Amino acid sequence: VAISNSEISTFDRCRRKWYLAYYLGMVPSDDPPVGNAILGTRVHAALEGYYGYQLDPSDVLNVLYALEADASPDWKTELMAEREIAVTMVTGYLEWVAETGEDANLRVVAVEQDAEVPLPGMPGVLLKARMDQVVYSEETGMLSFLDHKTAATFDSHDIMDLNPQFKFYSIVQRLLAGPDGPPVSGGIINTLRRVKRTERSKPPYYRRDGFRYNDVQLIAALERVTAIAGQIRQARAMLDDTYQRAGGDLHAVNALQRRELYPSPIATLCRWDCPFVAICPAMDDGSDWPGIMTRSGKYRQDNPYRYYRNDPLRAVRDALGKG
């Protein structure tokens, strides 16, 4: 079984959310085609096109938004407005990179690299990561992962010691390299601010910082990952047993999900970071919540790891005749 940082973070944040998203594979069926998350995904694709395939990132965005406008004609106005922000972000980024020489000593080794590596001490469990870029520094002779972020601020640059995603990537990077592998040197965070760049907006709009965790930090992070991966494995075994033995009987499932996969509500967070906020209370009040989920039409089942199979650039390269 392969476990990503997202799955580990979801389980750590709220076991019920993990159960719904990762065990049952439920996702909202009516996610809008615009918004901060999908904008970030499209900007990532534009940068992947630029660094991996020498495509103009504005061309990539134009194609992605045109495809989405065809698929979701009711959202055309919002899509065109969002495209403008995205194109401003990437064109300004290219100017910034040219002015500052940020890319001068970095050679791109891979884009969107999918990595899987055995978790030490837990046979059969793999750690799974997709790194935006792997780069080789001609200055230091070391490999790093480089992560593109789109955000309103640069706050995440100032709390790197707390960042579980980058510690997870650093662990994967170290395990992949092995004791005799190429020298690796942590990561680089590269943030494009999500702003329109009007006269009133204030620069800077771009920032890049390298970081590295020491061995003690990485061992502590590995211990955390190992502990949570063990809990996930145990939770899956209990759920498999309950569904197989009791055939999904709601009483039996509820007894388990309430006791072992209890919710961890943080009211202010749940409202904006959980797609299950509408169904969550029904899981504790005797309702037929699986029936409600199905009948509402607001959720569908999907593979929570589908993201790893997605290749948004495929359609773009075909449309641009550069497949």
Q: Does residue 263 bind ligand SF4 (CB under 6 A)?
A: yes
Q: What is the DSSP string of 165-220?
A: HHHHHHHHHHHHH-TTS--EEEEEEEEEE-----TTS-S--EEEEEE---HHHHHH
The span from the CA of 82 to the CA of 65, in Å, is 9
Contacts within 8 Å (CB) and 24+ apart, 54-57: 55/316, 55/317, 55/320, 55/322, 57/90, 57/91, 57/93, 57/94
Write down the least CB distance from residue 14 to ligand SF4, Å: 3
Strand partners, 21: none
Q: Does residue 274 bind ligand SF4 (CB under 6 A)?
A: yes
3-state SS, residue 110: strand
Q: Does residue 222 bind ligand SF4 (CB under 6 A)?
A: no
The span from the CA of 275 to the CA of 20, in Å, is 10
Region from 73-81, 124-132, 263-271, 288-296 binding ligand SF4, contact rule CB under 6 A: 263-271
Could you tell me if 88 and 106 are in contact, meaning their C-beta atoms sit under 8 angstroms apart? no
Among residues 38, 195, 270, 292, which is the contact residue for ligand SF4, using CB under 6 A? Answer: 270
Residue 6 neighbours by CB distance under 10 Å:
18
3-state helix, strand, coil in the chain (%, to 5): 55, 20, 30
Query: Interface residues for ligand SF4 in 2-61 (CB under 6 A)?
Result: 14, 16-17
Q: Does residue 228 bind ligand SF4 (CB under 6 A)?
A: no
Write down the least CB distance from residue 265 to ligand SF4, Å: 4
One-letter amino acid of 205: Y
Q: Does residue 160 bind ligand SF4 (CB under 6 A)?
A: no
3-state SS, residue 228: helix
The count of residues interacting with ligand SF4 (CB under 6 A) is 11
Write down the least CB distance from residue 31 to ligand SF4, Å: 16
Cβ nearer to ligand SF4, comparing 16 with 194: 16
Write down the least CB distance from residue 162 to ligand SF4, Å: 20
Q: Does residue 290 bind ligand SF4 (CB under 6 A)?
A: no
Q: Does residue 264 bind ligand SF4 (CB under 6 A)?
A: yes
Among residues 25, 92, 265, 290, which is the contact residue for ligand SF4, using CB under 6 A? Answer: 265
Write down the least CB distance from residue 264 to ligand SF4, Å: 6
Write down the least CB distance from residue 87 to ligand SF4, Å: 34
Among residues 122, 126, 175, 277, which is the contact residue for ligand SF4, using CB under 6 A? Answer: 277
The span from the CA of 190 to the CA of 167, in Å, is 16
CA distances from 71 to 74, 76, 135, 176 (A): 9, 10, 35, 40
Residue 106 neighbours by CB distance under 10 Å:
18
Return the axis-axis angle of helices 164-177 and 215-246, rounded to nearest 10°: 100
Cβ nearer to ligand SF4, comparing 29 with 100: 29
Region from 76-84, 96-104, 167-175, 262-270 binding ligand SF4, contact rule CB under 6 A: 262-270
Write down the least CB distance from residue 275 to ligand SF4, Å: 8
Write down the least CB distance from residue 279 to ligand SF4, Å: 8
Region from 25-33, 80-88, 128-136, 261-269 binding ligand SF4, contact rule CB under 6 A: 261-269
Q: Which of 244, 276, 239 lies closest to 255, judged by CA? A: 239
Write down the least CB distance from residue 285 to ligand SF4, Å: 13
**What residues line the site for ligand SF4 (CB under 6 A)?**
14, 16-17, 263-265, 270, 274, 276-277, 280
